[in-house]
């Protein structure tokens, strides 16, 4: 996509958007707000019980995407795709926390988005402190070696006078660790007894407590976003900044982060772009995290590279996606390979290593997901029902297929249902084509050097 392609659709937009073909200083600022390990558990997404007035307002002033998925259910693989615009399985950055010490570089033609934006005249920043009581984590988490600093600064105010900025604010409020402790210091907390649990979790105090703690973190996240928006307004840049809010992967709870179920890759995506997005709009077409990358380049007037997997979200000439593909590979010491295809209604999951159970040892999951320990104990006592026991099975199915309209929690596998045979074959074909067309490298053995953290 070129600047010329985008201009006709923006002729009635404010000046800061209309001048995409002008000098860099006349183009819009662009801000990504990335929430770590965060699914669409927000009031504006219809989730009950949380307090998210700031993100609700952002959605009311912009467009909310209901079917956005990240390319991977874990941060480093997801971010390695998001910040480049290519699937991590294409660039060889698909294993979690890989290539940290072997000097691995992206394939020819692949580059960081921040470097492309810098070359287009933007000041690039991975924002740290933006208010006395609020900061970004400065996270990058790339599975490759970067040639030169990925960002030029740590705050948009460090830019030259009149220069537009491209910035990321990485908020850790929904990530396991210190944030879960901080969240419990809020005056008003989620009542664990009030929660409606998904059917794959047992009704147990440990489970309810972990879930409530995560939702406390969602409330904390919204508070941080509110402070950020107030800071942008105070600095006089709110109304000429295109804002994207998204999670870097799904929620950090059992059957979420690290798995290719909906809870692992389905994330909120909200875009507030004055003059481009219609207030209160809702988009229900499947979109990919990489589409935010493509949209950022388009808004900056930068042509998309020839090899690119994202597509602009606000170009009427671009056909909406019919489906998206997501991928999981090694996570920490846990080897697995899973691919999923999702459209508006169905979810197809292929387990390339079905002999490896969902519960194979993973130190992070073991230490940070108390629900797993509770489920193991209840399973040993014969106290889990059939749906809850699925996760404890000795092996995974080769293929899983779900009607997410009738079964949003993906617990009734229809892969062997004769009525779905043709549809399952269609989705299998989609995955086969995607693997070939994108050069999926998940089947290649990983070197010992690449896996050293």
pLDDT in tens, 38-75: 999 999 999 999 999 999 999 999 999 999 999 999 99
Per-residue confidence (pLDDT) for residue 453, from 0 to 100: 80
Q: What is the pLDDT of residues 155-183, one digit of tens each?
A: 999 999 999 999 999 999 999 999 999 99
User: Token digits for 408?
Assistant: 């949003």
Long-range contacts of 370-374 (CB under 8 A, 24+ apart): 370/206, 370/209, 370/210, 371/201, 371/204, 371/206, 371/207, 371/210, 371/211, 371/253, 371/254, 372/254, 373/206, 374/202, 374/204, 374/206, 374/207
Dihedral (Cα; 42, 48, 50, 51), 10-degree rounding: 80
- pLDDT score for 12: 36
Note every long-range contact of 308-315, with CB atoms under 8 Å and residues 24 or more positions apart, other chains counting: 308/85, 308/86, 309/81, 309/85, 309/86, 309/87, 309/90, 309/438, 310/85, 312/1, 312/6, 313/65, 313/271, 313/283, 313/287, 314/9, 314/273, 314/276, 314/277, 315/1, 315/5, 315/6, 315/9
3-state secondary structure of 35: strand
307: its two tokens: 């090899």
Reported as half-sphere exposure (CB side, CA atoms, 13 A), residue 73 has a value of 29
Which helix (H) or strand (E) covers residue 120, if one does? none
**22 secondary structure, DSSP code:** S
pLDDT for the residue 281: 98
Distance CA 32, CA 170 (A): 8
Q: What are phi and psi of 91, to 5 degrees?
A: -90, 0
pLDDT at 344: 98
> Residue holding tokens 């929430």?
35
Residues of the chain with pLDDT under 70: 1-25
Rounded Cα–Cα distance for residues 426 and 343 (Å): 12
> pTM to 2 decimals?
0.95
CA 339 – CA 353 distance, rounded (Å): 11
pLDDT of residue 23: 60
Do 219 and 183 meet the contact criterion of CB atoms below 8 Å apart? yes
Residue from 142, 176, 136, 130 nearest 38 by CA = 176
Tell me the torsion sign for CA atoms 207, 209, 210, 212. positive
Whole-number pLDDT of residue 16: 39
CB 48 within 8 A of CB 268: no
Of 264, 268, 248, whose CA–CA distance to 256 is shortest?
Answer: 264
3-state secondary structure of 33: strand
């Amino acid at each position: 996509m070129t600047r010329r392609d985008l201009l006709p659709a923006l002729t009635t937009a404010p000046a800061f958007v209309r001048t995409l073909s002008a000098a860099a200083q006349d183009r819009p600022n662009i801000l990504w707000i990335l929430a770590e390990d965060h699914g669409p558990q927000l009031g504006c997404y219809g989730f009950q019980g949380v307090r998210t007035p700031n993100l609700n307002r952002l959605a009311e002033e912009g467009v909310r995407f209901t079917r956005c998925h990240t390319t991977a259910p874990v941060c480093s693989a997801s971010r390695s795709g998001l910040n480049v615009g290519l699937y991590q399985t294409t660039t060889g950055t698909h294993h979690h926390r890989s290539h940290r010490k072997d000097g691995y570089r992206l394939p020819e033609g692949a580059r960081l988005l921040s470097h492309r934006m810098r070359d287009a005249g933007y000041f690039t920043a991975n924002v740290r402190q933006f208010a006395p009581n609020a900061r970004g984590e400065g996270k990058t988490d790339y599975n490759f070696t970067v040639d030169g600093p990925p960002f030029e600064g740590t705050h948009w105010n460090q830019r030259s006078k009149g220069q537009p900025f491209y910035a990321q604010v990485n908020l850790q409020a929904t990530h396991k660790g210190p944030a879960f402790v901080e969240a419990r210091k809020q005056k008003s907390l989620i009542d664990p007894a009030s929660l409606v649990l998904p059917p794959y979790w047992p009704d147990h105090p440990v489970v309810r407590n972990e879930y409530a703690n995560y939702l406390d973190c969602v409330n904390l996240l919204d508070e941080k976003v509110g402070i950020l928006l107030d800071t942008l307004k105070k600095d006089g840049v709110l109304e000429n900044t295109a804002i994207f809010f998204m999670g870097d992967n799904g929620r950090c709870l059992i059957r979420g982060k690290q798995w290719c179920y909906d809870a692992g890759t389905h994330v909120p995506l909200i875009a507030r772009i004055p003059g481009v997005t219609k207030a209160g709009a809702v988009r229900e077409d499947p979109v990919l995290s990489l589409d935010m990358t493509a949209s950022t380049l388009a808004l900056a007037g930068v042509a998309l590279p020839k090899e690119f997997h994202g597509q602009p979200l606000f170009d009427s000439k671009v056909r909406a996606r019919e489906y998206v593909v997501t991928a999981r590979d090694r996570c920490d010491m846990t080897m697995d390979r899973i691919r999923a295809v999702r459209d508006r209604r169905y979810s197809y999951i292929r387990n390339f290593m079905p002999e490896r159970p969902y519960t194979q040892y993973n130190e992070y999951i073991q230490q940070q997901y108390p629900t797993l320990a509770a489920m193991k104990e209840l399973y040993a006592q014969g106290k889990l029902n059939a749906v809850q026991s699925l996760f404890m099975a000795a092996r995974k199915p080769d293929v899983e297929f779900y009607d997410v309209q009738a079964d949003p929690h993906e617990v009734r596998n229809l892969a062997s249902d004769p009525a779905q045979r043709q549809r399952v074959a269609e989705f299998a074909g989609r995955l086969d084509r995607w693997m070939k067309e994108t050069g999926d490298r998940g089947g290649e053995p990983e070197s010992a050097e690449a896996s050293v953290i």
